[in-house]
Structure 1
Amino acid sequence: MMVGIQALWYLCYIICSVYTVICLSLEVNQVIKESTNIDNVVNNANPSDQKTESESNNQSLAGGQVSIDCLRCLCLERSDCRPIGCVMVAGTLGCGFFRFTNAFWIDCYEPGGDWRTCANDLHCASHCVQVYMNRYAANFSCFLNCEGYARELAGGPNGCNNPRTIAYWEKVQTVPGCKGVQ
């Protein structure tokens, strides 16, 4: 009986390992495709029409309660403001420009069709952050400034009141051009 349970456990372990490798491989392939598409757009563009990265990103960021400067800083800290695909962080899968989770996407009322697509589209992802902050920041008596929003992003609903999110705000402040951003 014990040998049968051990064999079953080992088989489950192998299946989960193979599944994880396949999922990671698909994520890497998606990132490679996105990078190739971005390179093609940049290489085929007229140099006089090109904008700096910050100009392009600021024009794509969704307006709202969170200032564009704050969104830019959060985006830069989370992903260098690039569509990073999905990565595991502290045991949770976070995707896209702001590395948000599926639960975060659901809390911003599921814009853009699906979680991963929205998270990797700068306008959709920043719109999701705006909606999330409108929904939660004031309800939990957060500071309605970049510190409050950063801490909400890091800690989820009521994250602005969690002392463990202070370190994240301090990390945002180290991003070039983000010290004192509101």
Structure 2
Amino acid sequence: MIGLHLLVFCSTVAFAMLGNVPSVTSSGPVPSGCLRCICVVESGCRMPNPVCRMDVGSLSCGPYQIKKGYWSDATLKGGSLMGDWKKCTATSPCSEAAVQGYMERYAVQGRLGHPPTCEDFARIHNGGPNGYKNPATFGYWLKVKACLMANETKI
């Protein structure tokens, strides 16, 4: 199991260092470097084919591997998001807007007790609204952090 985690970690760092990852835009609380590294960890920041895949008993879609419940929560802050989960997650701009909307709802100082950091964004993305304090999301954060460090992005 450690070998698999090491392989994923090294692959993430190597991929991020190649510079072949599309840039992402940031119009929300998640800075573009952080958003990009979440995308890298989720999918290599490429649109999966097929767009959706089974993950822990339900479908995850798009470059950010967004589940239907996540998308629904994101619409409460991110607007209509194309009105359809699968349609939205099949496009990078709408997927990014969904992540930003989700974070506008859950990664806020009033909930966290401090201004949100990239670690908070990554762990909430991975583990849901309370992922920022769930020990199970720490390994995910380490992958995002490795990407940030490989690209010398401010953590």
TM > 0.5: yes
Identify the residue that residue 4 of structure 2 maps to in structure 1: none
Question: Displacement, 1:140?
Answer: 2.6
Match of 1:169? 141
| Aligned pairs, number | 128
Question: How far 1:88 sits from its partner (Å)?
Answer: 1.4
Q: What amino acid does structure 1 have at the position aligned with 2:129?
A: P
Structure-1 separation of matches of 2:115 and 2:47: 28
Partner of 2:147, secondary structure, is coil
Q: Whose Rg is larger? A: 1
Q: Which amino acid aligns with 1:67?
A: P
Tell me the distance in 2 between the aligned counterparts of 1:173 and 1:73.
Answer: 8
Aligned to 1:83: 47
TM-aligned CA deviation for residue 79 of structure 1:
0.8
> Could you tell me how far 1:170 is from its partner in structure 2?
0.9
Asked if the contact 2:64/2:95 (under 8 Å) is kept, the reply is yes
| Long gaps (5+) in structure 1 | 1-51
Structure 1 partner of 2:14: none
2:122 pairs with 1:150:
yes
Mapped pair 1:103 → 2:75: no
Runs of 4+ residues over 2 Å off in structure 1: 173-182
Q: Which is bigger in relative contact order (C-alpha 8 A, separation at least 6)?
A: 2
Change (3 A) 1:62 1:113: farther
1:179 to partner: Cα distance: 6.5
What residue number does 2:32 align with? 68
Q: 1:115 aligns with which of 73, 76, 85?
A: 85
Q: 1:175 Cα deviation (Å)?
A: 3.0
1:140 aligns with 2:136: no
Q: CA RMSD in A?
A: 2.1
**TM-score, normalised with respect to structure 2:** 0.73
